[in-house]
Structure 1
Amino acid sequence: MSSTVSANVDGRTAVKLKAVASMENRSISNAVSSAITVFVGLPKGVRDFLLELNAQNDQDTINRLGREMMAAAARVRLEKATTDLASEHRFGGPEEVSREIDMLEEATALARAAAHRK
């Protein structure tokens, strides 16, 4: 069941909201709904920190945090995909992993030997 809520935002936020909705080919209502869903799902400390950064107009830190969050999200997605693939047993078992580790160790040894020859 959905509920209608109302919110007032400043002009700058309204312009940003319209731009985001347009870039993502979404309605303003859909963008607001998604933003609220994400915001209320965050721990209070994170919400407070993000609001503090916004109030301080600290765009550099907001951008840095965004990049770090994207990197963390990519790592989590990779780990999940790896776990999902491993659970399907499509790729080799422990002996396959052992061969891959042996190949990596051999490649490392060859690279070190080449570096010492220089």
Structure 2
Amino acid sequence: MASTISANVDSKTATTLKRVASMENRSVSNAVSSAITVFIGLPKGVRDFLLELNAEEDRDTIDRLGREMMAVAARVRLEKATAKLAAEGHFGGPGHAADEIGMLEEATALSRAAAKRP
């Protein structure tokens, strides 16, 4: 069941929110809903630190944290995909090791084969 929540933001935040929602082809309501979901899912210490950085207008640190979070997210996605492929038995057939090195070698072979296709 959905509930309507009202919030007041300054004009700069409202303008930025509308721009971001438009760039992502989302409604403002959807962007706000997603932001709230992510924000409340973070540990309180992280929320407090992000709010502190925002209040200090420390864009350099905010950008750095964003890049580091994206790197961690990519690594986690890769680990999950690797584990899923290994569990599905896509690796480890005759002549293929089912360990991480074997999977990397198989991925390299598949990439090379794909690159040779016209």
Category of TM-score, reference length = shorter chain: 0.7 to 0.9
1:51–1:89 distance in 2 versus 1, CA, 3 Å:
same
- Residue 39 of structure 1 and its aligned partner are, at CA, apart by 0.2
The CA distance in 2 between the partners of 1:36 and 1:99, in whole Å, is 40
Residue 25 of structure 2 corresponds to: 25
Q: Percent identity?
A: 76
Separation in 1 of the partners of 2:67 and 2:49? 16
Pairing of 1:65-84 with structure 2 (within 5 A): 65-84=65-84
In the TM superposition, 1:102-113 aligns within 5 A as none
2: CA distance, partners of 1:70 / 1:93:
33
Structure showing greater Rg: 1
TM-score, normalized by length of structure 1? 0.80
Structure 1 match to 2:112: none
What's the Cα RMSD here?
A: 2.3
CA deviations on 1:20-65 (whole Å, 9 max, x unpaired) are 0000000000000000000000000000000000000000000000
Q: Which residue of 2 aligns with 1:50?
A: 50
Q: Which runs of 4+ in 1 moved over 4 A?
A: 98-102
Larger helix fraction of residues: 1
> Mind listing any 5+ residue stretches in structure 2 that lack a counterpart?
105-118
| Count of residues paired in the alignment | 103
For structure 1, list consecutive stretches of 5 or more residues without a partner in the other structure. Answer: 105-118
Q: Partner amino acid for 1:90?
A: H
